[in-house]
């Protein structure tokens, strides 16, 4: 191996190591909590968005795909609350949650419970539905549950 190559390998190892030490700090629990709840909402938005396309007729209705997505939305709606319960996650880390979440905790929790109720119902209906007509009303109800909390608790 030539000398220059050796030097550059050693240099990159040293630099790599020092940057791990300085920049590779383990994120705080609060930061992880923000990321966790945002990930849950991303899962919901991804799946709910595709369901919306089917409901609006922008995408052909596929009962199996719709039911699978309804399940994923229902599951992830049950994860996110935990991410709000961690102290220090009220601000920073690019959170879009308004301080009202913690100021009106009981009301916020009611909204989250309502969301879980609605997504569970949607998944139940979707399980046996064969036409888009059967899921339309409950899809709309679920969307309302998303939206009512966004207005009060999410910075858009």
- Residues forming contacts to ligand ASC in the complex (CB under 6 A) are 45, 48-49, 52, 143, 146-147
Exposed, middle or buried by CB within 10 Å (0-12, 13-18, 19+), for 99?
exposed
Alpha carbons 13 and 9: distance in angstroms, whole number: 6
| Closer Cβ to ligand ASC, 30 or 132, answer by number | 132
Alpha-carbon distances of 12 from 17, 21, 22, 51, rounded to whole Å: 8, 14, 15, 48
Output 50 or 125, the one with its CB closest to ligand ASC: 50
Cβ proximity to ligand ASC, 30 vs 153, nearer residue: 153
Q: Which is nearer to ligand ASC, 28 or 75 (CB)?
A: 75
The nearest distance, CB 69 to ligand ASC, in angstroms, is 11
Least Å distance, CB 66 to ligand ASC, is 14
Q: How far is the CB of 82 from ligand ASC (least distance, A)?
A: 19
Q: Which of 78, 83, 103, 88 is nearest to 34 (CA)?
A: 83
Closest approach of ligand ASC to the CB of residue 42, in Å: 9
Total residues belonging to the chain: 156
Q: How many angstroms separate the CA atoms of 24 and 19, rounded?
A: 7
């Amino acid at each position: 191996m030539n000398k220059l190559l050796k030097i550059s390998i050693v240099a990159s190892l040293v630099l790599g190591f020092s940057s791990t030490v300085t920049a590779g700090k383990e994120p705080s629990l609060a930061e992880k909590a923000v990321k966790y709840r945002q990930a849950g909402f991303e899962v919901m938005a991804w799946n709910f968005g595709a369901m919306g396309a089917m409901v609006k007729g922008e995408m052909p209705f596929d009962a199996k795909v719709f039911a699978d997505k309804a399940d994923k939305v229902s599951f992830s709606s049950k994860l996110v609350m935990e991410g709000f319960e961690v102290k220090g996650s009220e601000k920073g880390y690019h959170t879009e949650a308004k301080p009202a979440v913690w100021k009106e905790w009981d009301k916020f929790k009611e909204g989250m419970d309502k969301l879980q109720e609605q997504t569970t119902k949607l998944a139940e209906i979707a399980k046996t539905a064969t036409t888009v007509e059967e899921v339309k009303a409950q899809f709309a109800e679920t969307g309302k549950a998303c939206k009512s909390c966004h207005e009060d608790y999410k910075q858009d």
